[in-house]
Amino acid sequence: MTISSAPDQALVLAAIEQVWGSMLFATAEAWPSDRAADFETGVQAQIELHGDWNGRLVLTCDSDVATQIAGAMLGLGPDEELPELDIHDAVGEVLNVVGGSVKGALVGTWALGLPGVSETSGAPSRDESFVVSWGDAPVYVQILPDAA
């Protein structure tokens, strides 16, 4: 059902909750605002969305969280290792599915880009993000409009 003309936190969070539950068999909860959510080395996935609003959705998490997400997607045991490329692939695909769900709920004509994944050396600003949980770890979610 189309419910919005631009992506907002509620829509993106709903998509994340669906993906966490159905693809990753986990629960996404809001990260307490008074709880620290820092990390040093992480993985960041971005995907562009173009239509009446133009920008990108960004997912950033700790490297260990990225590894766990990839393992959950593939149904791996705790001792099974994945190459970094596959971990990045998995996080990108998670964002791809989130993006597809968001796009499907938007009114109008929209285009979804291909996910891009890179390493990052810290968490984004909490002022520009909302944070959800992956187990006991934070995952940052950003809805970033293109510069006017």
Partner 1 sequence: MKILIADDSKVMRQIVLRTMRQAGFGHHDFVEAADGAEALDKVAAEAPDLVLSDWNMPNKTGIELLRALRGSGNAVPFGFVTSEGSEDMRATAATAGAMFLIAKPFTAEHFESALSEMLG
Total of chain residues touching partner 1, rule CB under 8 A? 24
Backbone angles phi, psi at 14, to 5 degrees: -60, -40
Region from 17-25, 27-35, 55-63, 136-144 binding partner 1, contact rule CB under 8 A: 17-25
Region from 38-46, 50-58, 82-90, 124-132 binding partner 1, contact rule CB under 8 A: 82-90
- CA distances to 105, 123, 144 from 57, in Å: 15, 15, 6
Nearest residue (CB) to partner 1, 96 versus 120: 96
Should residue 77 be labelled a site residue for partner 1 when binding is judged by CB under 8 A? Answer: no
Region from 6-14, 30-38, 98-106, 123-131 binding partner 1, contact rule CB under 8 A: 98-106
Cα separation of 97 and 18, whole Å? 10
79 half-sphere exposure, CB direction, 13 A CA radius: 0
**Dihedral of alpha carbons 22, 40, 131, 97, sign:** negative
Should residue 97 be labelled a site residue for partner 1 when binding is judged by CB under 8 A? Answer: yes
Should residue 90 be labelled a site residue for partner 1 when binding is judged by CB under 8 A? Answer: yes
Q: What is the 3-state secondary structure (H, E, C) of 70-93?
A: HHHHHCCCCCCCCCHHHHHHHHHH
Nearest residue (CB) to partner 1, 22 versus 121: 22
Binding site for partner 1 (CB under 8 A): 18-19, 22-23, 70, 73-75, 85-86, 89-90, 92-93, 96-97, 99-101, 103-104, 112-114
